């Protein structure tokens, strides 16, 4: 029986790709400029990740009440994120379907990339089911169902074309610095940031990595491969309660009075 997002999405190792997904999102100025103008990564570096994870876990695993509550919270947070085009900005709108498509695309592609690094290639039936399931992450908000590419081949064409256009600008690079070199936040998070920066750099497409100013060479690439092989050997042997802890934790926090304010 083919697995889908509900079977794979609970794996905590997917969080190794969180930095990749966020940097790919903000490398598109329609997303990055909105984040730069309406988020505070310098003082709240973990908030966007927390809000995104809460939303995704709610849509995939939550009750109807939880999905409704988190959708309302995300929509409230998105409502002020808009700007008309002017001399200094091409404009943005958090409700724009193309922008929402790109955000969901980064979440999907990153999840598949990390999962296959650890568990190997997905069989076609599982890959197709997981792809169809991921559309719900967007359509639970304002993404029209017909905006999600029809199949994995159509998605690959969309992805390759869009990634080729990415060139991180000054605002995107500033967000990346605030995210990856946090001056605030829990001490454990700051201690984990060198590894997070390394994994983020290793998972990014080459030209996007260069655009964000990461130092990277053959030695870095070899060390990245060794790191991923070690994770491949160790992670699948961990008890499920540890592997699924992030999903269980964020769902346990998902109460109406604790809805995240930024996704």
Residue 183 resides in a domain: yes
Read off the pLDDT of each residue in 138-152 and give the average, rounded to a whole number. 93
Q: Specify the pTM.
A: 0.92
How far apart are alpha carbons 223 and 209 in whole angstroms? 16
Residues 61/6, Cβ–Cβ less than 8 Å: yes
Encode pLDDT of 203-243 as tens digits. 999 999 999 999 999 999 999 999 999 999 999 999 999 99
Per the CB < 8 A criterion, the answer to whether 142 and 257 are in contact is: no
Quote the domain boundaries for residue 118. Answer: 5-258
| 188 within domain boundaries | yes
- Full DSSP string of the chain: ----HHHHTT-GGGGGGHHHHHHHHHHSHHHHHHHHHH--TTT-TTHHHHHHHHHHHHHHHS-HHHHHHHHHHHHHHHTT-EE---SS---EETT-HHHHHHHHHHHHHHHHHHHHHHH-PPPHHHHHHHHHHHHHHHHTTT--GGGS-SSHHHHHHHHHHHHHH----HHHHHHHHHHHS-SSS-HHHHHHHHHHHHHHHHHS-HHHHHHTT----HHHHHHHHHHHHHHHHHGGGS-HHHHTHHHHHHHHT--GGG--S--
Position 263 confidence tier, pLDDT thresholds 50, 70, 90: very low
Q: What pLDDT was estimated at residue 255? A: 65
Within a domain: residue 263? no
Give the closest residue to 46 by CA, choosing from 11, 76, 15, 77. 15
Half-sphere exposure of 64 (CA within 13 A, CB side): 0
Does any domain span residue 132? Answer: yes
HSE, CB side, 13 Å, CA atoms: give it for residue 232: 14
Residue 202 lies in a domain: yes
pLDDT of residue 230: 97
Question: Please, which pLDDT band fits residue 9 given cuts at 50, 70 and 90?
Answer: very high
Residue 190 clears pLDDT 50, i.e. is over it: yes
The total number of structural domains that make up the chain: 1
Task: Give the integer Cα–Cα distance in Å for 32 and 29.
Answer: 5
Tens of pLDDT, residue by residue over 152-175, are 999 999 999 999 999 999 999 999
**pLDDT-derived band of residue 2, with 50, 70 and 90 as boundaries?**
low
* pLDDT > 80? residue 121: yes
Give tens-digit pLDDT for 26-53. Answer: 999 999 999 999 887 666 767 777 888 8
Query: What average pLDDT does the chain have?
Result: 90
Question: Exposed, middle or buried, 190 (CB in 10 Å: 0-12/13-18/19+)?
Answer: middle
Is 171 a member of any domain?
Answer: yes
Q: Domain for residue 44, yes or no?
A: yes
In this predicted structure, what is the pLDDT of residue 86? 83
Does residue 18 lie within any of the structural domains? Answer: yes
């Amino acid at each position: 029986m083919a697995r889908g997002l509900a079977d794979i999405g609970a794996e905590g190792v997917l969080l190794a790709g969180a930095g990749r997904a966020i940097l790919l999102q903000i490398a598109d100025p329609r997303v990055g400029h909105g984040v730069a103008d309406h988020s505070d990564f310098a003082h709240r570096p973990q908030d966007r990740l927390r809000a995104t994870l809460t939303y995704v876990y709610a849509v995939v695993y939550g009750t109807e009440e939880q999905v409704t509550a988190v959708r309302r919270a995300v929509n409230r947070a998105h409502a002020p994120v808009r700007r008309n085009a002017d001399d200094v900005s091409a404009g943005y709108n958090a409700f724009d379907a193309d922008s929402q498509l790109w955000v969901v695309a980064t979440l999907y592609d990153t999840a598949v990339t990390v999962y296959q690094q650890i568990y190997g290639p997905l069989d076609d039936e599982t890959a197709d089911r997981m792809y169809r399931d991921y559309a719900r992450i967007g359509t639970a908000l304002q993404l029209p169902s017909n905006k999600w590419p029809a199949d994995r081949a159509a998605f690959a064409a969309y992805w390759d074309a869009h990634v080729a256009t990415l060139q991180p600008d000054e605002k995107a690079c500033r967000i990346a610095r605030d995210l990856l070199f946090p001056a605030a936040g829990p001490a454990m998070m700051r201690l984990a940031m060198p590894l997070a920066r390394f994994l983020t750099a290793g998972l990014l497409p080459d030209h996007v990595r260069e655009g964000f100013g990461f130092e990277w060479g053959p030695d870095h690439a070899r060390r990245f491969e060794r790191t991923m092989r070690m994770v491949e050997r160790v992670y699948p042997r961990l008890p499920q309660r540890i592997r699924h802890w992030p999903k269980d934790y964020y769902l346990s926090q998902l109460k109406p009075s604790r809805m995240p304010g930024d996704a």
